[in-house]
């Protein structure tokens, strides 16, 4: 154990010595905040091998020191400000809803990226197929399409999402839609909650602009010494500007601009992503995917020319479509599988589908 500690401490010393001997690139000094951050991290690194009594507890305390520092500053600065600004009930609402929304966003995004959308079997089987994929040369079950980016067939393919770096198919379609829905709710929540802050920041920026536009100081000449404008000891006849200090700092200006940027960003994302979420909600209500929407539109026009009416065989009714999509089998699932994180499998295997009448209840509740 002591030999390992000696090896660790010697390695740390060599690491710091190497940084000291590295030649400096350029002649400009680093900013003060960067030098303070570097000194703080170097102190943390040195504390790891301060003596032979170093153990895992000491190392964990050193690693969590920035977290303790952040919590300490938040409780001393941000918490008193929040208590003065908002009521306890409003603070409780922000804490509960904000953390719930954040957990739902992170969970569904992670599951949407890591869950495979589903692929048809490569081996010969007895599963009914509607066609043969010309690129994969394998049978394609119903609602299966080939993705040119993934270069494979996807079960119940909706589209290939670049933000997920994954296809949206049978097994991760629910995660994708839930991520879009809760992300939209989060952006709307931030826009509504930060509306007053946005107005205050916008007014402050306008006030800063008006102060910048005003003439700073009053030019005076030697006569100023007679009326007391020039300070004592100044040279007579020399021009002088008595300029007051600025009413705001660069930090204040950047703080207000950051609030404006945050509000504009969340509002625009809420509009754009909200439109996409509503469009997918309409498709889910109709029992369609994005690809099937184009196929069914063409099929509807073709059947209309023949005097017939096209019916989507996978449309089980609006409520039943949502039950199938979310995997609702009983009433409590609306809470446990929709409003709470759930990793349950979707309805069916994505290879075979029930061709039921529209009014048939898929899952009796």
Determine whether 147 is an active site residue: no
Nearest Cα neighbor of 112 from 102, 104, 120 is 104
Nearest Cα neighbor of 169 from 120, 126, 207 is 120
Between CA 18 and CA 21 the distance in angstroms is 5
Q: Is 145 helix (H, G, I), strand (E, B) or coil?
A: strand
| Two tokens, residue 288 | 């369609």
Nearest Cα neighbor of 49 from 17, 6, 1 is 6
**Largest Cα–Cα separation, the chain:** 107
Which residue is catalytic, options 133, 136, 150, 161? 161
Length of the chain, please? 365
- Residue 52 phi/psi, 5-degree rounding, is -80, -5
Nearest Cα neighbor of 208 from 263, 174, 177, 254 is 254
Between CA 158 and CA 117 the distance in angstroms is 10
In the chain the first and final C-alpha atoms are separated, in Å, by 63
The four Cα atoms 141, 142, 148, 152 give a dihedral, to 10 degrees, of: -20
Nearest Cα neighbor of 85 from 201, 205, 193, 204 is 193
Catalytic positions: 161
């Amino acid at each position: 154990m002591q030999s390992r500690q000696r090896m660790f401490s010697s390695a740390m010393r060599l690491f710091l010595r190497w940084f000291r001997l590295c030649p400096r690139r350029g002649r400009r000094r680093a900013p003060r905040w960067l030098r303070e951050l570097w000194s703080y991290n170097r102190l943390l690194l040195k504390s790891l091998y301060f003596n032979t009594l170093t153990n895992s507890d000491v190392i964990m305390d050193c690693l969590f020191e920035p977290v303790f520092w952040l919590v300490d500053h938040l409780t001393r600065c941000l918490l008193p400000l929040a208590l003065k600004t908002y009521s306890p009930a409003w603070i409780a609402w922000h804490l509960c809803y904000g953390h719930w929304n954040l957990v739902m966003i992170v969970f569904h995004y992670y599951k949407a990226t890591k869950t495979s959308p589903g692929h048809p079997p490569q081996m010969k089987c007895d599963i009914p197929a509607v066609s043969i994929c010309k690129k994969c040369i394998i049978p394609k079950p119903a609602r299966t399409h080939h993705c040119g980016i993934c270069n494979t067939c996807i079960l119940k393919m909706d589209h290939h999402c670049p933000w997920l770096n994954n296809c949206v198919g049978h097994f991760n379609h629910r995660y994708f839609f839930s991520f879009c829905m809760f992300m939209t709710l989060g952006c709307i929540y931030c826009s509504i909650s930060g509306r007053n802050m946005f107005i205050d920041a916008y007014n402050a920026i306008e006030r800063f602009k008006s102060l910048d536009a005003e003439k700073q100081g009053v030019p005076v000449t030697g006569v100023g010494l007679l009326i007391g404008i020039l300070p004592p000891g100044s040279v007579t006849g020399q021009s002088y500007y008595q300029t007051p200090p600025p009413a705001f700092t660069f930090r204040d200006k950047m703080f207000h601009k950051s609030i404006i940027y945050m509000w504009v960003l969340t509002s625009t994302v809420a509009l754009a992503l909200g439109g996409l979420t509503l469009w997918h909600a309409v498709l889910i209500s109709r029992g369609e995917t994005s690809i099937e929407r184009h196929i069914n539109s063409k099929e509807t026009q073709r059947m209309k020319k023949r005097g017939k009416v096209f019916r989507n065989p996978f449309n089980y009714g609006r409520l039943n479509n949502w039950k199938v999509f979310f995997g609702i089998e009983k009433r409590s699932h609306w809470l446990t599988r929709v409003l709470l994180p759930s990793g349950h499998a979707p309805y069916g295997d994505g290879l075979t589908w029930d061709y039921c009448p529209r009014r048939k209840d898929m899952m009796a509740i």
